[in-house]
Homo-oligomer: A and B are copies of this chain.
Amino acid sequence: MKQTITRLFKYQKIIKQFYQKGYTRIFSGTIAEELGLSPSQVRKDFSLLSIPGRKRGGYKITMLGHHIDKIINAKPEQHAIIIGMGKIGQALANYSGFQDEAIKVTAGFDVKSDIHCAIEVHNIEMLEPFIKEHRIKVAILAVPNSLAKKMANRLERAGILGILNFTGVELLMHPATVVRNINLEIKLKNIFYYVEQLTTSSQTK
């Protein structure tokens, strides 16, 4: 189910693109090709979610968009904050990729508050009142590794329910807290490992 949900966000994006290009219908095969999936996977997902479609005529784009929006319960605006305004934090603040997609990064927090970037940066002392006042539920954690666990616990106590973890530290949170990790180092090492395997196996052939 977790993977289906992730694919739904991807479907939504493709559907939006085709809608903006003026299309009214879209085929499972087209969606599949755009995402590197099999058409049967796409049809299976849609049928699991009771989305009606015909093999010949494809899916009506507005109907498909409406169905998916309803399932993922898309809010017109979703707010997150960034904790730790070092290089990664600042890059995320300035990152424009979110803007199209109703995700707003509302503020950043750091021990230094004289950081100038695309969002307001507050002193970390303001964290708890800000979360409470703006009912923030999601935080992006970009502090140094040495502060990661302490800060994650502080976020949890302040009412944060979801954390996008950019630190290299595994966070052990309350089971109900949603944590997703972006561990650049591990991802890169993983790539190096498989590339090395490829290179070695082709040399021994």
Chain A residues within 8 Å of B, Cβ to Cβ: 5-6, 9-10, 13, 33-36, 72-73, 75, 78, 80, 87-88, 90-92, 94-95, 97-98, 101, 103, 137-138, 140, 145, 161-164, 168, 170-172, 176, 178, 180, 182, 184-196, 198-200
The chain B residue with its CB closest to the CB of A90 is B91
Q: How far is B79's CA from A192's CA once the two chains are assembled, in angstroms? A: 9
Take A137-B199, A138-B191, A189-B101 as given contacts and tell me if A184 and B5 are in contact as well, using a CB distance cutoff of 8 Å: no
Q: How far is B162's CA from A176's CA once the two chains are assembled, in angstroms? A: 35
Give the dominant DSSP class at A's interface: helix
Q: How far is B9's CA from A137's CA once the two chains are assembled, in angstroms? A: 31
